[in-house]
Copies of this chain bind each other. A is one copy, B any other.
Amino acid sequence: MSAFAVIAGVGPGTGSAVARRFARAYPVALLARNPDNFTSLVDEINASGGQAVGISTDVSSEASVKSAFAQIKEKFGSERCAAAVFNASGPFQRKSLLELTADDMSKSWDVSCKGAFLFSQSAIPLLLAQGSSTSSAGAEQHPPTLIFTGATASVKSNAHMSSFSTAKYAMRALSQSIAREFAPQGVHVAHAVIDGVIDIPRTKDWLKDQPAEAKISADGIAEAYWGLHVQPRQAFTNEIDIRPMLEKW
């Protein structure tokens, strides 16, 4: 039985790198709200011998997530889900508590926590289906994996970061709860604390006076996620940090 992977939050940085990495092994379903974020990537993967499908999805909308997974099931029905990666994130914003609005708080939570919840709730049954079949599967079949992309703000909350960090802390709580509930059924759940600036087009002017090693490579993150995916049942990692060599501690 063949398998597929789902990546939510595909943009020009981590999401695309993760999509490319997992597409080397599996057909991939790529979710993003704006099709501009996946169209050329889908073409690129399909053109280079992989298989990709893009599905426009608002992860904060229950109907949209359900629709996306319905399309996934239709597309990959008889295959197993090998991996699901939640890489979506609400807007990064720095505002004083006194300037934040309830809407700012909600928008961040809607994506990073509610979105992660909706995605997990749809992904877990597909991952479990694989989990239960793994015992009899060949050794080359990796445990089904659910990975969440966190940030420094998932574990440390600075001034002017309330909207972003509350939602990221919440997502980390979600990942821990899911890990504890579904590990016994064979699902490997992991949370990555991305600790620094990712080296993508949008950040090319940040840390300009520093060597490349001051930023995190998106491909490096993708490779770390793949490394989590291929861990065997007797050696699961639930949380990793990923940082550049020249991180300012």
Interface contact A121-B98, CB-CB below 8 Å: yes
Task: Report how many copies the assembly holds.
Answer: 4
Which of A30-38, A67-75, A239-247 forms part of the interface with chain B? A239-247
Contacts of A100 in B (CB 8 A): 117, 121
Q: Which of B62, B159, B170 lies in contact with A102, CB distance below 8 A?
A: B62
Q: Which of B160, B184, B231, B245 lies in contact with A183, CB distance below 8 A?
A: B245
Interface contact A177-B158, CB-CB below 8 Å: yes
Interface contact B245-A113, CB-CB below 8 Å: no
Check: A3 CB closer than 8 A to any chain B CB.
Answer: no
Interface contact A124-B98, CB-CB below 8 Å: yes
Bound-complex Cα distance A172 to B143 (A): 30
27 A–B contacts, CB within 8 A, in A order: A97-B177, A100-B121, A105-B114, A105-B117, A109-B113, A157-B173, A159-B177, A161-B177, A162-B177, A165-B174, A165-B176, A166-B171, A167-B170, A169-B170, A183-B246, A186-B245, A217-B232, A217-B234, A220-B231, A224-B227, A224-B235, A233-B244, A233-B245, A234-B244, A234-B245, A235-B244, A236-B243
A residues apposed to B, CB below 8 Å? 62, 96-98, 100, 102, 105-106, 109, 113-114, 117-118, 120-121, 124-125, 143, 153, 156-162, 165-174, 176-178, 180-184, 186, 188, 199, 212-213, 215-217, 219-221, 223-224, 227, 231-247, 249
